[in-house]
C-alpha cells in the first residue's frame, strides 16, 4: 500500500528550524550574517528558476545570498579566478555552482566545482565531500541537498530502512550516486538503474 508523504509540511518544518537557529546564532554573535554565493554561467531558463527559488528561500530563512551571473562567453580561467575570490571572502560561507553551464566555450565542470573550497561546497560535489560520503563520513561532509532531503522524506514515514531493497534511478554526481551511498549507509541493498 502506498503512503503519501507531505513534503511541503516537512520542508516548512525544516525551514522554520533553520530560521530559528540562524536567528539565535545571530543574536549571540553580533548579528553575524551567513553568506551564500550562487555562481551561474549563461541564462538557462531552468537554472534561472532554480536560482530564483534558492535566493528566495535563503532570504526567507535569513541567509544573505548573492547571485554571480557570468555571460555565456566567460573563459574558464576567469570563472576559476572569481571562485577563488569567493573562497577567500570571509563574508561568503557557502558556494553553489549552478550546473549545467550554458557556455559558448568549453568549461570543465569538474575543475570548476573542485575549485570551490570543500568547506564552502554547499552542493557536496567537491572530491573531498563526495569521497567522505562514499566512505561513510557524512557527519564531516557537505551532503547534496536533494538526496539528503529524499532520505529525510523516507525517514519521515517511519519505514525501517535496514535490510530494505532500494532502487535509485539515475547515477548523477548530484543526486543518484549520493542517494545510493546514503541508502547503503542506512543498511539498504541498493540497485542503481541508469540509461546507456
Q: Which residues are catalytic?
A: 54
Strands 189-193 and 35-41: unpaired
Contacts of 39 (CB under 8 A, 6+ apart): 68, 70, 79, 82, 83, 86, 95, 96, 97, 98
DSSP 3-state assignment of 140? Answer: helix
CA distances from 174 to 16, 28, 45, 104 (A): 25, 34, 19, 23
Report the C-alpha gap between 37 and 96 in whole angstroms: 6
CA distances from 159 to 15, 162, 183 (A): 23, 9, 13
Which residue is listed with cell 557537505?
Answer: 142
Contact 144, 125 (CB under 8 A): yes
Contact 188, 165 (CB under 8 A): yes
Q: Which three cell numbers stand for residue 196?
A: 546507456
Amino acid at each position: 500500500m502506498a503512503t503519501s508523504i507531505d513534503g511541503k509540511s516537512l520542508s516548512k518544518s525544516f525551514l522554520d528550524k533553520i530560521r530559528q537557529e540562524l536567528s539565535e546564532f545571530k543574536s549571540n554573535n553580533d548579528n553575524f550574517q551567513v553568506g551564500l554565493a550562487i555562481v551561474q554561467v549563461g541564462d538557462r531558463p531552468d537554472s534561472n528558476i532554480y536560482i530564483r527559488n534558492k535566493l528566495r528561500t535563503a532570504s526567507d530563512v535569513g541567509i544573505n545570498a548573492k547571485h554571480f551571473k557570468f555571460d555565456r562567453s566567460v573563459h574558464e580561467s576567469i570563472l576559476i579566478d572569481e571562485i577563488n575570490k569567493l573562497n577567500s571572502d570571509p563574508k561568503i560561507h557557502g558556494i553553489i555552482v549552478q550546473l549545467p553551464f550554458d557556455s559558448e566555450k568549453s568549461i570543465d565542470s569538474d575543475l570548476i566545482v573542485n575549485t570551490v573550497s570543500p568547506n564552502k561546497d554547499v552542493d557536496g560535489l567537491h572530491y573531498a565531500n563526495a569521497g567522505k560520503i562514499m566512505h561513510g563520513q557524512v557527519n564531516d561532509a557537505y551532503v547534496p541537498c536533494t538526496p539528503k532531503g529524499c532520505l529525510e522524506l523516507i525517514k519521515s514515514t517511519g519505514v525501517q530502512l535496514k535490510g530494505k531493497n532500494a532502487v535509485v534511478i539515475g547515477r548523477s554526481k548530484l543526486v543518484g550516486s549520493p542517494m545510493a551511498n546514503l541508502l547503503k549507509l542506512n543498511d539498504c541493498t541498493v540497485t542503481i538503474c541508469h540509461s546507456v
